[in-house]
Structure 1
């Protein structure tokens, strides 16, 4: 059995499912952070932040919003797509998703995911660590009809960058340079590194020999 409990400060089912695939059964406690207000505040205080710093600031705020006497590790994450020098989160509506896909098609962008981990265990160190993972994503040259059909599913409105690689949008991603888990919303190798910085072993969260670790593979590339 795992010896350390993990709380995911995110409502993303993709992140939770990704953890489950490697044997980590995280509790979900979404933060109440107003992302638009926080972005405005960060930019007013620090200027035009690089995408890597912006997503890490959001991830930190989400983790800190949830961590308070939880007797667990708390992980906050936030993802954004950088395309042509601009960063994009979830589209506000179908019109924005359609316009974005018309810009994305046939191009490549960088998906940045900020990670912030807090040791909020009663007997823990109280430490906190964070980092950003960045993955290059190449998009297919979709027709207008394909874009309209995809946007009509509603999926692009629910995810950062207006696409998935492990869902309906998988057929529209032609290549990935870097950690494909990061495109789903959480870099497993980076999480392992962050745990190590806090002196916590990966197997303390993902015990070997569980059913989730035996004979299963669900690769998203």
Structure 2
């Protein structure tokens, strides 16, 4: 075989390998970290093996307090699915994944480069909820079809005299995240009055809707 052809073949193989590695998933890895922040800071970014198409997070509760140990790594999709199915199953009271129980173990997986960085919302998905639950905005109210469970739709309204800034609805998606943040309700205001030849003695609520202002005329 022509040496030049062999050389070209080797170059193509190297390029293929580089491209293949470049397409591989990357995940944060750490063991026995005391927090997600510590794991992300002291852990490593690794390129997963070809069959490891998910990034995994594992939280282990070590005592009655808030302390827990964090583990992050690459994982195969089937192994991820099996681990997540174990979360709600009884192993010790009342389930294997239970933040109130000693020795609780919670596992979840996500797809996408470095998706296991931070606390991640995949635990919300595993628990079939979105966190935090939606609450009434100041000067407004929220009504949800099914609390903060996945699939729930929340609608927001503002009290009389207030206008909404943001989306009127927010849905709890299958990935455990809300579709939009809670809106705010601000007071509706009128243009400030110009006294002209009159004197503004007092307004009951400034220039807000519903405010009543009292005028007096100057002498003459």
TM-score, structure 1 normalization:
0.24
Please identify which structure carries the higher strand content. Answer: 2
TM-score, structure 2 normalization:
0.24
Report 1 or 2 for greater relative contact order, CA contacts < 8 Å, sequence distance ≥ 6.
Answer: 1
Q: Larger Rg: 1 or 2?
A: 2
Please identify which structure carries the higher helix content. Answer: 1
